[in-house]
Amino acid sequence: MDAALEKIERLKRERNAVILAHNYQPGEIQDLADFCGDSLGLSIEASKTDAKVIVFCGVRFMAETAAILSPGKTVLLPEKTAGCPMADMITAEQLRQLKAKYPGAIVVCYVNSTADVKAESDYCCTSSNAVAVVDSLPADKKILFVPDRNLGSFVAERTGRDIELWPGYCTTHVCITEDDIRKARQKWPDAIVMSHPECTEPVRKISDELLSTGQMLKFVKKSSAKRYIVATEKGIIHALRKENPDAEYIPATERAICPNMKKITIDKVIASLEELKERITVDEQIRVKAKESLDRMIEILPSD
């Protein structure tokens, strides 16, 4: 085994640590992780692990979610500046103002949000269970969906519900254009276009499948197709190749790279385990309220 990986294994044993990685992480980080998955899978894993230390290879809101769900554990983010621009597109104060405008409405927040925003929300969701979460809510209630307007409008299309959208978006997924998909389809007419619901409406409209990253992995495992055009962050292609190596995966565009996800390196994982940094904590009052919305989310699994 490579010296760096041996060191990580030794440190993990010494610290009683587990390494969780999101599907958008660099390939070498996905390969060294104990568990790799989508946001819902990672939240579930973080809530049930026996390890004392969780090294979260992802972005800040993911590590914060782990800290909310596992209060007794040390949660580490190997790179403190790895944030999510979408999560920062709404503050708790802005959400309070929105709630005041629509009294009686139910707030559903995408897990890509700060702990403060989760604490102000009724339900949390991920892209894999957003439709199931909204479907479970009383039919006569208005829904406020924050912060992703693209995931929110996808959920409105699928559920037919009255949803007030917040104008947030993923800076990486909006780089994927309708033109990218059309050009890729012309070049590879036999390919299945799999897009993430964070993509814009014109991209979603001309896609074959709209799936979270975890759902994409399940889809290629079952499908007999030999070629896929992938409209999401490029890191997923590493995971797709591992899941179904016989198929070909074409990124819809080379521009779909999340710079924050790519800040995690092997050296930073080692430093994180050695020095127990960057420790992610959440104020206890906020944590307790945020956990309620996350617990409600974990109870509602996607129907697939």
**Chain residues that interact with ligand 13P, rule: CB under 6 A:** 23, 38-39, 84, 112, 126-128, 170, 196, 198, 212-213
Q: Is 176 in the site for ligand SF4 (CB under 6 A)?
A: no
| Distance in angstroms (rounded) separating the CA atoms of residues 249 and 245 | 9
Sorted by sequence, the CB contacts under 8 Å of residue 38 that are 6+ apart come out as 22, 23, 126, 127, 128, 212, 213, 214, 215
Task: Find which of ligand 13P, ligand SF4, none residue 171 binds, CB within 5 to 8 Å per kind.
Answer: ligand SF4
Q: Is 170 in the site for ligand SF4 (CB under 6 A)?
A: yes
Inter-residue contact 196 to 231 (CB < 8 Å): yes
- Provide the minimum distance between the beta carbon of 163 and ligand SF4 in the complex, in angstroms, as a whole number: 19
The amino acid that residue 256 corresponds to is A
Task: Find which of ligand 13P, ligand SF4, none residue 23 binds, CB within 5 to 8 Å per kind.
Answer: ligand 13P
Closer of 23 and 207 to ligand 13P (Cβ) = 23
The amino acid that residue 187 corresponds to is K
Closer of 22 and 287 to ligand SF4 (Cβ) = 22
Task: Find which of ligand 13P, ligand SF4, none residue 38 binds, CB within 5 to 8 Å per kind.
Answer: ligand 13P
- Provide the minimum distance between the beta carbon of 3 and ligand 13P in the complex, in angstroms, as a whole number: 31
The span of 84-92, 98-106, 212-220, 272-280 binding ligand SF4 (CB under 6 A) equals 84-92
Among 46, 51, 151, 261, binds ligand SF4 (CB under 6 A): 261
The span of 201-209, 221-229, 253-261, 269-277 binding ligand SF4 (CB under 6 A) equals 253-261
Residues 40-79 that bind ligand SF4 (CB under 6 A): 59
The neighbour count for residue 148, using CB atoms within 10 Å, is 29
The amino acid that residue 19 corresponds to is I
Closer of 105 and 174 to ligand SF4 (Cβ) = 174
Closer of 17 and 214 to ligand 13P (Cβ) = 214
- Provide the minimum distance between the beta carbon of 192 and ligand 13P in the complex, in angstroms, as a whole number: 17
Closer of 8 and 82 to ligand 13P (Cβ) = 82
Task: Find which of ligand 13P, ligand SF4, none residue 82 binds, CB within 5 to 8 Å per kind.
Answer: none
- Provide the minimum distance between the beta carbon of 72 and ligand SF4 in the complex, in angstroms, as a whole number: 26
Q: Is 81 in the site for ligand SF4 (CB under 6 A)?
A: no
Among 260, 266, 272, 278, binds ligand SF4 (CB under 6 A): 260
Q: Is 150 in the site for ligand SF4 (CB under 6 A)?
A: no
| Distance in angstroms (rounded) separating the CA atoms of residues 134 and 158 | 10
Q: Is 171 in the site for ligand SF4 (CB under 6 A)?
A: yes
| Distance in angstroms (rounded) separating the CA atoms of residues 24 and 42 | 12
Task: Find which of ligand SF4, ligand 13P, none residue 39 binds, CB within 5 to 8 Å per kind.
Answer: ligand 13P
Cα torsion 81, 167, 250, 31 to 10°: value is: 30
